[in-house]
Amino acid sequence: MCYSLKCRLLLIAIFVVMGLTSNVYAAERSGATPSKPAKSLTGTWHGTEGTITFRANGTIDYDGKRYYYAVTNGGLIQLNRKGTNRAIPYHLSGGKLTLTVNGKSQIYTRR
pLDDT in tens, 33-75: 445 566 789 999 999 999 999 999 999 998 888 999 999 888 9
Q: Is the pTM of this model over 0.85?
A: no
pLDDT tens for residues 25-39? 333 334 444 455 667
* Residue 16 DSSP label: H
- Of 40, 41, 61, nearest to 50 by C-alpha is 61
- Give CA–CA dist 61/6, Å, rounded: 41
- Of 106, 52, 103, 47, nearest to 79 by C-alpha is 52
Domain ranges of the chain: 5-109
The architecture in CATH of the region 5-109 reads Beta Barrel (2.40)
Q: Quick one: how far is CA 51 from the chain centroid?
A: 17
